[in-house]
Amino acid sequence: MPAFGKVYLIGAGPGAQDLITLRGARLLAEAEVVLYDALVTDEMLELCPQAVKISVGKRCGQRSAAQHFINQQLVECAGKYSMVVRLKGGDPMLFGRADEELSALEAEGIEVEVVPGITTAVAAAAASKQPLTKRGVARSVAFFTSSTAPGHPEDVAIPSTDTLVQYMGGREAIATAQRLLDQGRRPDTPVVVIENVSRPDQRIGRITLAELAHGLDGAQGPVLVMLGEAMKTRLHQPGLGEPAADALPPARQA
């Protein structure tokens, strides 16, 4: 018998249960143990009723499992079970700390397979019906986050692309907007803000960069911010000029 089982790093997608891949759902149904992130929904965990479930969630501003402890748990579970799933929100290879977990498992000679998932930016573009690229307007996209590893500077330059998508952008809205304004982005640059992408409590807000500089009111779940000329609403786009009932409002100006 091998000393270790096999570990699967699976992307759960943005939240909705039916947006996980068929391969991901099949492996969840076969898993013996599932170590899952804070952003993984209860509905997603219904796909693995047979498995031991271990929460290893990491949420900004909240007490959560340290990464080195998660790495250790993965190695320990691989020593106890033949099929281990590490279930991550979105895609494991984008802002998912996959490099650290892969390195820890590879150092022990543990077999690992990565199953991709729909990253939140793509789901947000679909939910808001705002393509991230647009012929003649936007042909480059950058995904970024303000979170950095310990010991690394927080003021890393924001990418210079046509469309910008900031993950975990709610808490950093004011700082990000001000830096972009300082870099020469127009105050009327269109911005789309989406909270809880693909979930029943999803909310979408359409504002400008100048409004984003005042922050966001009322956001409770994870927020993704998309900005650039590609975010401009189309002439006959439904809801143009009228905020939706579930819209995410900008902060009130002082």
Residue numbers annotated as active site: 37, 58
Cβ atoms 197, 232 nearer than 8 A: no
Counting Cβ atoms within 10 Å, is residue 63 exposed (0-12), middle (13-18) or buried (19+)? Answer: exposed
Rounded to the nearest 5°, which phi and psi values hold at 144? -150, 165
Paired with 195 in beta bridges are 203, 223
Per the structure block, which two tokens stand in for 45? 């965990």
DSSP tag of 159: P
Spell out the residues 6+ positions from residue 44 whose beta carbon is closer than 8 angstroms to its own: 12, 15, 17, 20, 28, 36, 87
Edge-to-edge strands, sheet with 33-36: 52-55, 33-36, 83-88, 6-11, 112-115
